[in-house]
Structure 1
């Protein structure tokens, strides 16, 4: 007997590179059905065998967790800010988008929705906002330079770059939702399938088109970053040995389709579309065009209502413009039977493999009804470990004026009148476009709204996430818009649960900050 026969096997850990995403997913899934090692599995698996396996276990048997194992990077470039918010609205999403703080978005261009004869009006509205964006940004930069001297130890380029970022923080309020941006995402195939299906169900034509392009990008050969260098190598070897060159070409330059199987059946989500239509109608009937009550910027909701009231209110919330508290008071006054009917609208059209609507993630410990500018919401939107319900964009809540303690205000910089004039004009254009009567006018008009427009959203989370968001987003390096929201979240928790306040490592956002520190 070998002297090593009774020794315990050592744990083997190794990273994997070079396997196609679906092949790798199949190899990992085989752990549950085979004693082969990963290296052995990958050595015997072909793309064809992976497709056969996935067609059987993923689509026929519904083993959707297999798609969690195939991760795919994408670049999505030249899409509107409005579309980008919709695209990243996944709870299982990883990615990065262009920053409005460090880049001049004037050079990005914009998306123009199909507004028929009203297109010139839309173009004029967007161009006016960009003129104001340039003007406010340039003048605020000069005001900052006048107010803040450059320290001797600070290099001129660093001084200029830092203050320019502060000026962009103000100017971004004027960027229209039509503004083009770019983002990268790395998602698993299950998230991608859900994302494509959700985007195909959008009320915006641009977003539906992006969904089709995402699906196509996953099923067609991916761009190979090593292609040029590999091609030269293959040609050099082929000039010496044609057979060897052909074999190398097949190994290095073969087209790789990242997810040809896992997203090929992604279609518009009928459950989501039908539920949206009926819940929008139900919300309109319940509220009967009542005026929107005044509400705090951040409202930490109590948990006195029943689960049934929370579910019905949450289902209606994304389909109107009322605060959660105002909407809840009407839902609570309904009969038990009517509330059950509203909850039933959320499950009525659910298919066999449909996940419940996000509003059914109920019973969270902390619920914040937040009214803030769209630009600030984009930053808060990145927090995935909570449930977020976003209402449609509208002019109903007005707009924010950028204000940062220690930084010159618009009035002090002589820019208040210019800013208000630009925002008021944008809202007037929005209303004219919204009411013009062409198909999807209400959706297309939203592209003319600037990022300074207030939007309402509901965030549900546990205590750990409240603490994390409050600490992170109140930091002095952050944008003053979400710093204020994070501070108000903390203050609301402090008032409701004073014994918990000592656990927050919080930055007082009312204190002036050193604007040269990032």
Structure 2
């Protein structure tokens, strides 16, 4: 840094005093913005692109208002938030410059949402989410006399309400009963090993029990969801939510818009304007209505019994290796892609492999991932898996993922341990067979969308995933780690095998050094040991 020269902008002593409250320094070319509302930060950056002034000078000239005292001396002042708001209105409404809505964000908590709504919200890519874990949160507690499930307004006002609530209570009762039965079974089967504290062992056993029975949690299970996103994401999310006919979705859309307007109002001016956001919502809603006309009749319904999860590779690029090698060389050469095609076409397979291995480099851990050249080839999968596994895989926002309605038509997933325990397995099977009956009643009386609330996580959902090779490295290596749930670990291992064997891309998948194809009785054991050691227990 001492050898790098740059121009230090002159500020008066008073200007430095003002700036020091809102910027992390006043004399370096790299600095952070602090103590400023998002509307001012965003407006500053919006002006930044159309001015030759520095950001700190723009702030002083356009977003700070001096307040003179009785003698005419400026000793106090304040932020010009009104100007910032007007600037956003002009940029977004008048100029249609959507990118400025990316310049401010908000943390938003959405509590007591159903898992169906959580998945709806989490479909957006340009946001960060955290939600309650079914591994660490017990769902056997009641609040105000009720288990933690949502009775949607559609069900609440229908003749099916009593049936639905009776089944939900029975489902959570079974969840609680099985949890209490399995914990002593696991304690006996997996005694504490040397080097593991009592606390780490207990946490591991409880996590094992929760993992085993999470399939009994219904899609109506309430969860808490934390979101951090920019204004552009929130605008489109709310427009999609207002296009829905689901009353839970609409109720949360109203609440979210109200709270977001307390934090980033200028970013959401178009959401409920008749000729802007509402017209956009109607456009999305009309498409949904029209598409229903083309949907084929439901296929054969499987019996309410355990069924294996399936993973099918339905699309890939046969020339993926050469496409990726071309992309690798492009960054480091001065040739066009057409010219590089000629070069790559002359390479032998060992030569192609040498280039791919060199590009992967010496990977010391799974976070050392190859660069963007690995985005030049993609894979398309069609999956049928339990909803619980889908919930975890769906959270990878770089995927192109679409899913169908949740039903009981495709059978359910049953953990292997319950096949070994006849009494506990019978409880599990019995309540899930009953789920199919309740679902059929709700689907007949209230329609397939509302009936989804009654479907437990164990039932299988059909969904499609398209991802490039770079994302496959991330997804497969992360989701096959030993602490992962057995259900989605098997799915990702199958993806890996299909890419390697069916697509014939072993030269590419050989770089996935951190795929763990072992299986563990206590998936969380090592992680709990490490956590305990850090705490010094």
Please tell me the TM-score bracket, short chain as reference. 0.7 to 0.9
Name the counterpart of 1:206.
248
Hey, what does 1:499 align to over in structure 2? 507
1:28 aligns with 2:36: no
Task: Identify the residue that residue 424 of structure 2 maps to in structure 1.
Answer: 415
1:382 and 2:395 aligned: yes
1:110 to 149, 152, 169: 149
Q: Distance in 2 between matches of 1:52 and 1:186?
A: 24
Q: Deviations over 1:424-451 (max 9, x none)?
A: 1111111111112x4xx32222111011
Task: Return the offset for 1:42.
Answer: 3.3
Q: Post-superposition shift, 1:290?
A: 4.8
Contact 1:136 1:415 in 2 (8 A): yes
Write the distance in 1 (CA, Å) between the matches of 2:294 and 2:404: 15
1:85-110: CA deviation from partner (whole Å, max 9, x where unpaired): 11111011202001111011233622
Q: Distance in 1 between matches of 2:183 and 2:514?
A: 29
For the Cα contact (< 8 Å) 1:218–1:258, is it kept in 2?
no
Distance 1:36 1:126 in 2: 62
SS of the equivalent of 1:158 reads: helix
Change (3 A) 1:134 1:42: farther
Q: Residue 79 of structure 1 aligns with which residue?
A: 113
Q: Is 1:57 matched with 2:91?
A: yes
The residue that corresponds to 2:348 in the other structure is none
Per-residue deviation, residues 131-174 of structure 1 (Å, max 9, x unmatched): 11111222221211110111243222221111101110112110
Equivalent of 1:435 in 406, 422, 444: 444
The answer to whether the Cα contact below 8 Å between 1:73 and 1:185 also exists between their aligned partners in 2 is: yes
Equivalent-residue separation in structure 2 for 1:131 and 1:124 (angstroms):
11
* Match 1:176 to one of 218, 238, 241: 218
> Aligned residue pairs: how many?
413
Q: Confirm or deny that 1:372 pairs with 2:370.
A: no
Q: Secondary structure at the match of 2:112?
A: strand
| Structure 1 residues 511 and 106, CA gap change in structure 2 (3 angstroms) | closer
Give the secondary-structure state (helix, strand or coil) at the position aligned to 2:159: helix
Inter-partner Cα distance in structure 2 for 1:198 and 1:262: 13
Distance 2:292 2:182 in 1: 42
Q: How far apart, in 2, do the equivalents of 1:413 and 1:262 lie? A: 58
Q: Does 1:475 align with 2:478?
A: no
* Structure 2: stretches of 5+ with no match in the other structure: 9-27, 64-79, 142-146, 319-375, 528-537
Give 2:292's aligned residue: 280
Q: Do the aligned partners of residues 401 and 510 (structure 1) sit closer, same or farther apart at CA in structure 2, a change above 3 Å counting? A: farther
Shift of 1:37: 2.5
1:37 matched to which residue of 2? 54
Equivalent residues in 2 for 1:225-304 (5 A)?
A: 259=267, 261=269, 263=271, 265=273, 266-267=277-278, 269-284=281-296, 288-291=297-300, 297-303=310-316
Deviations 1:171-219 (A, max 9, x none): 2110011111101111000000001111112242101111111111111
What residue number does 1:460 align with?
466
Shift of 1:50: 1.7
CA distance in 2, matches of 1:432, 1:411: 32
**What's the CA shift for 1:291?**
3.9
In the alignment, is the contact (CA less than 8 A) between 2:208 and 2:522 conserved in 1? no
1:426 and 2:415 are equivalent in the alignment: no
Based on CA coordinates, which of the two structures has the bigger radius of gyration? 2
Q: What's the offset of the Cα at 1:292?
A: 7.6
Structure 1 CA distance, aligned partners of 2:488 and 2:94? Answer: 45
Match of 1:158 in 2: 200
Q: Which residue of 1 aligns with 2:133?
A: 99
The alpha-carbon deviation at position 506 of structure 1 amounts to 4.3
Contact 1:22 1:70 in 2 (8 A): yes
TM-score for both structures, normalised by structure 1? 0.75
Say which SS state the counterpart of residue 13 (structure 1) adopts: coil
Aligned alpha-carbon RMSD (Å): 2.6
Partner residue, 2:7: 9
Preserved CA contact (<8 Å) 1:129 1:174: yes
Structure 1 position 450 matched with structure 2 position 456 = yes
Aligned partners of 2:231 and 2:268 also within 8 Å? no
**TM-score, normalized by length of structure 2?**
0.72
Q: Any conservation in 2 of the 1:189–1:262 contact (CA below 8 Å)? A: no
Q: What secondary structure sits across from 2:496 in the alignment?
A: helix
Q: What SS is found at the alignment partner of 1:503?
A: coil
- Determine helix, strand or coil for the equivalent of 1:269: helix
Quote the Cα distance in structure 2 between the aligned partners of 1:466 and 1:161. 31
Residues 1:147 and 2:189 are matched in the alignment? yes
Where 2:113 maps in the other structure, the secondary structure is strand
* Alpha-carbon distance change, 409 to 290 in structure 1, aligned in 2, over 3 angstroms: closer
User: Residue in 2 aligned with 1:330?
Assistant: none
Counterpart secondary structure, 2:127 = coil
In the alignment, is the contact (CA less than 8 A) between 2:479 and 2:492 conserved in 1? yes
Distance 1:8 1:176, change over 3 A: closer
Cα distance in 2, alignment partners of residues 191 and 172 from structure 1:
31
What displacement does 1:289 show? Answer: 4.8
Residue 296 of structure 1, CA deviation:
7.0
Q: CA deviation at 1:258?
A: 7.7
| Rounded Cα–Cα distance in structure 1 between residues aligned with 2:406 and 2:495 | 23
CA distance in 2, matches of 1:25, 1:262: 17
